[in-house]
Amino acid sequence: MICLDTAIVIWAIQGIEDPQRPDMPLRARRFIENLSEAGVRIMIPSPVVHEFLTGLPTEVKSETIEVLSKMFYIPSFDLSSAVLAAELDANRGEMKEIKSDYGLMRQQIKVDTQIIAIAIMHQATEIVTDDVDHFTRIAKGRIKVSGLPEIPLQGDLHLNLNPGDDSLS
């Protein structure tokens, strides 16, 4: 099972582009389609849903929630996840360093720690995020963290087979 972080979901579903990386919405959609076609279960932790829904127009929220709940596994921040998040967050000095190194606010680190803990406790094998460096530091080797992979487009294969001709052209 693959866990997706917020940016991946926003790119794939809302199609919001980053002017410096305009290919990300297409890459994110292609990645999710590839996972679905391969039968890989996709997790979106409830804090990701929270971040994703923030700012969406009210009139599309209920429809969006319905689509998300049909397409993805959405685990909550439960007791076991809370215990693990507290463990991952225990070293205040390290968290202050991460905050400083990446220019993050304390609340961002808390939410990312929750996402990581949920992914681990609900048996995700990997988290795909746009924040690989600080997610990796927070996760402390407990789960694989990677960026959005490039999924090449499969071109159409055009074969011209002539009956009786064993050659491909």
Rounded CA gap, 63 and 18, in Å?
A: 25
Rounded CA gap, 133 and 78, in Å?
A: 25
Q: What is the DSSP letter of 122?
A: T
pLDDT in tens, 125-155: 999 999 999 999 999 999 999 999 987 765 5
pLDDT in tens, 16-65: 877 888 899 999 999 999 999 999 999 999 999 999 999 788 899 999 99
Q: What is the pTM of this model?
A: 0.85
Rounded CA gap, 42 and 72, in Å?
A: 5
HSE at residue 108, side-chain half, CA atoms within 13 A, is: 13
Query: Could you tell me the domains of the chain?
Result: 2-146 (3.40.50.1010)
Cβ-contact 103, 111 below 8 angstroms = no
